[in-house]
Amino acid sequence: MRQSVSVLLTLRSWILDGTLCAGERLWEASLADRLSVSRTPLREALSRLAHEGLLERADRGGYAVRSFSPEYLKQTIELRGTLEGLAARQAAEARPSATRLEPLRQLVDRIDALVTHPVLDEDALSQYTTLNSAFHQHLIALADNMALAEALARIEHLPFASPSAFVMSYAHSPSAHRSLLIANDQHRCLVDAITHGEGARAEQIAREHARLAQRNLDTVLEHPARLERLRGSALIQAP
């Protein structure tokens, strides 16, 4: 692994787990010593994190860890929904073969088997996260639109913008089954719309699917204990 990639992954992890706090100024010299690297890979990593939106330019140069308002996070989720809606419409209009659609169908069935289980512990939710992320990746791939895929990848680096951002907040929550069942029913409807070439319907379902994430954000903001379970929660500004 290139050293700059290793530094990038470490810094991103430190930001999201709160090791580097929102608003904290990042000094190249101290970070380079802490990471035992030269400044060249460090600068590459810092530039990449700024491009992703996790850092912002500080006064008099350099970078600081960014914080996010709840309203901004809702906007990023809405933007993701808009882009995924576009991807869903383009996928439906392309009329993909049954072979290309089969991975989506299998993922929906595997998620169904998981979320109907009577107990959704952290292990089950981790499995759901993996399956859900794979579903969304396959959906984007069906659009065959590289620019769209790259735009979505940038958005999903931001806290709470990814399709699985709120899953772990459901640990031991009585509302988990209902919310995840609704989400997977939307997955199934989305596959059906793409199968039948219904572009407008597919786009609307994908956008509504993202609105579910916006409602989940509202829920965790009202319950600090659930918010604290989520990676990156320290970056959210108080409402």
Q: What is the DSSP string of 161-189?
A: -STTTTGGGGTT-TTHHHHHHHHHHHHHH
Structure tokens that stand for 173 in this block? 């929550």
| Average pLDDT of the residues in 224-230 | 78
State residue 157's pLDDT score: 82
Over 60: is that where the pLDDT of 1 sits?
no
Domain with CATH 1.20.120.530 in the chain: 70-235
State residue 172's pLDDT score: 62
State residue 174's pLDDT score: 67
Burial class (CB in 10 A: 0-12, 13-18, 19+), 169: buried
Instruction: Select 3-65's CATH number: 1.10.10.10, 3.30.565.10, 3.40.190.10, 1.20.810.10.
Output: 1.10.10.10
Range in 53-67, 115-129, 144-158, 179-193 the model is least confident about: 115-129
Range in 30-44, 132-146, 223-237 the model is least confident about: 223-237
Residues 217/73, Cβ–Cβ less than 8 Å = yes
pLDDT digits (tens, 9 = 90+) for 57-71: 988 888 999 999 999
Domain spanning 70-235, CATH class? mainly alpha
Q: Which of 162, 133, 148 is nearest to 90 (CA)?
A: 148
Domain with CATH 1.10.10.10 in the chain: 3-65
% helix, strand, coil for the chain, step of 5: 70, 5, 25
The CA distance from 69 to 35, in Å, is 30
